[in-house]
């Protein structure tokens, strides 16, 4: 047996956390270049850590990712985390892998709702923060105010004295420089590297007296490789592991999930995972060779019988029903259409994503999928759609709870809105109708005002599109889960009814032209429609069955103006998240690889009338 040092001074493990769009991934790009991980002449995509198609398209980080850089003989393992509250489960589970956090704050915006969420998780684990006030080159930047707001946030989150004594750097992640004082020369990111080495503790292995402990690692991420199969990622908490070693997986209760051997050991080097022969306590590694162990399980030497403690993840607050697409157009565009393949795909997603729950319903062709928010579930649907799945999705609904006294409780969110002063009245009025309470109002400069609301999550479903309309597209809204509290009663839903096709076929331009006076059209001429499909929004509050196949009556009589060309207003096209928020409880969104259609749950008029009577 060999003795084990209390710390590994050749390594630091740190996570970068921030609100969405505060510059985490851009900063990591420059850390790569200035550490020599990426050559100056090497062609690397902008925001290299956002490797997924959806991440690049939306400009956000969806999955937490590991990387590492070398700085003065010290390996710095960096975890890039999502900034959006809907992907908070990704942040929660990876914090157990690191010993410190770099908190990025926009110099103009200061700490935002998601900043509070991720910082609270990090401080509760005792992690030491390094605050980086980013984007100080923006015209409206106020670094001092952002720093003061960070300190106030730490105090409100019950940070200890050591955490309150945090180092502060001022930076421009895009331009690749950081300074400890505003008057310093702005050249590179060396001050940030040095601060990480000085203030982030070196990993402390779990030891058993003076004797080296057997290998133990908590799984925090799971992904699949075309060649290696299931790959489990985590930090080695104790001991040493070598390729070929026997290991077993323990669940949270200590039960053995499976036994096997380490077939491949991978370490993170820049943008790549490279094979290594051995790893020891403090290393962040990926292991292949096990088929059943999953996130929150412990991988360990067979002599270890006690699992490592896993951080509890906040429960989901929103659910949708994923069903087999049973419309008349089903199976024309997708290849994955049966309930069996949909079930397998959803269970595989829940296995690797701890923030998602999947439950089979009484109807074997549908599944209840619960997550953190509309964006998280919308990303899952979009991913499945691109994989060739066809689905029918229900309206999102919040998950209620019951307290000890038997009273119904619902999730509440903190909503922070930045709008021009001219539009604040409309925003306050609309959110008040949705049972939100105004808790704060502060001017934010430039004719803008920052409004803070305490709102039931149920009332925010479908509001974002309305919010953008009311603020002429200039408003910014950020949300984060706060708590469960008393149920606030019914909330008024969509104010207008819909136009419903009454027969199958292809939409005719002449019919759509005649229907424009009835409301807003959502389909193009020549589009396939079927009975029960929603083709537009009614101008009144009732649903209306309409004929979109009616062609112009042809005669041999010619008159002035009779043959004028039909001029149609461009149809209203809804992206996926907007469509999910728009529908009512008796409607579905039909999602295929090529199309997004809205439809009634019951396609026949008499079936809808019968269901409406039963619901009363």
Neighbouring residues of 615: CB distance < 8 A, sequence distance ≥ 6:
none
Q: Provide long-range contacts, Cβ within 8 A and 24+ apart, for 483-487.
A: 483/411, 483/412, 484/401, 484/409, 484/410, 484/411, 484/412, 485/409, 485/410, 485/412, 486/407, 486/408, 486/409, 486/410, 487/400, 487/407, 487/408, 487/409, 487/410
Q: Per the annotation, where are the binding residues?
A: 21-26, 134-137
Count of alpha carbons within 13 Å of 375, Cβ hemisphere only? 19
Neighbouring residues of 83: CB distance < 8 A, sequence distance ≥ 6:
17, 18, 19, 20, 21, 22, 24, 60, 61, 114
Of residues 573, 492, 487, 489, the one with CA closest to residue 527: 573
Of residues 372, 257, 397, the one with CA closest to residue 313: 372
Give residue 44's region: left, alpha or beta (phi > 0; psi -120 to 50). Answer: beta
> Burial level of 548, CB count in 10 A (0-12/13-18/19+)?
buried
Asked if residue 136 lies in contact with residue 104, where contact means CB atoms within 8 angstroms, the answer is no
Q: Per the annotation, where are the binding residues for GTP?
A: 21-26, 134-137
Angle separating helix axes 143-156 and 113-124, nearest 10 degrees: 50
CA distances from 366 to 197, 271, 339, 399 (A): 51, 39, 7, 18
What does the alpha-carbon distance between residue 59 and residue 195 come to, in Å, rounded to a whole number? 28
What does the alpha-carbon distance between residue 476 and residue 467 come to, in Å, rounded to a whole number? 9
CA distances from 414 to 219, 439, 484, 515 (A): 31, 9, 12, 41
- Look at the block and give the residue holding tokens 């008499």: 606
């Amino acid at each position: 047996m060999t003795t084990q040092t209390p710390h590994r001074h050749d390594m630091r493990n740190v996570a970068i956390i921030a609100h969405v769009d505060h510059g985490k991934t851009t900063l990591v790009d420059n850390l790569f270049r200035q550490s020599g991980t990426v050559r100056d002449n090497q062609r690397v995509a902008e925001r290299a850590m956002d490797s997924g198609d959806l991440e690049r398209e939306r400009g956000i980080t969806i999955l937490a990712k590991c990387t590492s850089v070398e700085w003065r003989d010290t390996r710095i393992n960096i975890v890039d985390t999502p900034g959006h509250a809907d992907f908070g489960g990704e942040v929660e589970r990876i914090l157990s892998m690191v010993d410190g956090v770099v908190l990025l704050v926009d110099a103009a915006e200061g700490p935002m709702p998601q900043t509070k969420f991720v910082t609270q998780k990090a401080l509760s684990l005792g992690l030491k923060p390094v605050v980086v006030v980013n984007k100080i080159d923006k015209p409206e930047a106020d670094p001092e105010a952002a720093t003061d707001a960070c300190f106030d946030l730490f105090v409100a989150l019950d940070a200890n004295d050591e955490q309150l004594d945090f180092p502060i750097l001022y930076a421009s992640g895009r331009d690749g420089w950081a300074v400890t004082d505003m008057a310093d020369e702005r050249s590179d990111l060396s001050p940030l590297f040095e601060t990480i080495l000085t203030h982030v503790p070196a990993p402390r292995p779990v030891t058993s007296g003076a004797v080296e402990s057997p290998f133990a690692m908590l799984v925090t991420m799971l992904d699949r490789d075309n060649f290696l199969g299931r790959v489990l990622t985590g930090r080695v908490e104790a001991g040493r592991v070598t390729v070929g070693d026997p290991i077993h997986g323990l669940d949270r209760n200590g039960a053995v999930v499976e036994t096997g051997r380490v077939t491949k050991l991978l370490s993170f080097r820049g943008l790549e995972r490279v094979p290594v022969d051995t790893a020891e306590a403090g290393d962040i590694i990926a292991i292949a060779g096990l088929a059943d162990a999953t996130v929150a399980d412990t991988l360990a030497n067979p002599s270890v019988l006690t699992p490592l403690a896993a951080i509890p993840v906040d429960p989901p607050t929103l659910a949708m029903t994923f069903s087999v697409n049973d419309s008349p157009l089903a199976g024309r565009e997708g290849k994955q259409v049966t309930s069996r393949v949909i079930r397998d795909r959803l269970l595989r997603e829940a296995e690797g994503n701890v923030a998602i729950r999947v439950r089979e319903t009484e109807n074997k062709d549908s599944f209840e999928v619960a997550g953190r928010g509309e964006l998280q579930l919308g990303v899952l649907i979009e991913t499945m759609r691109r994989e060739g799945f066809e689905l029918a999705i229900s309206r999102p609904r919040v998950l209620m709870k019951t307290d000890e006294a038997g009273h119904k409780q619902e999730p509440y969110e903190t909503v922070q809105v930045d709008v021009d002063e001219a539009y604040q009245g409309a925003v306050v009025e609309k959110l008040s109708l949705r049972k939100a309470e105004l808790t704060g109002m502060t001017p934010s400069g430039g004719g803008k005002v920052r409004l803070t609301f305490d709102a039931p999550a149920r009332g925010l479903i479908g509001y974002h599109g309305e919010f953008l309309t009311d603020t002429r597209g200039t408003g910014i809204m950020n949300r984060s889960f706060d708590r469960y509290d008393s149920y606030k009663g019914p909330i008024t839903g969509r104010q207008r009814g819909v136009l419903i096709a009454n027969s199958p076929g292809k939409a005719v331009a002449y019919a759509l032209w005649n229907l424009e006076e009835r409301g807003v059209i959502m389909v193009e001429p020549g589009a396939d429609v079927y009975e029960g499909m929603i083709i537009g929004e009614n101008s009144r509050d009732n649903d209306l069955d309409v004929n979109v196949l009616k062609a112009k009556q042809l005669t041999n009589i010619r008159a002035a103006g009779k043959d004028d060309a039909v001029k149609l207003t461009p149809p209203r096209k809804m992206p996926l998240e907007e469509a999910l928020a728009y529908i009512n409880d008796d409607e579905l969104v039909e999602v295929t690889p090529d199309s997004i259609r809205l439809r009634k749950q019951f396609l026949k008029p008499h079936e809808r009338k019968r269901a409406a009577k039963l619901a009363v």
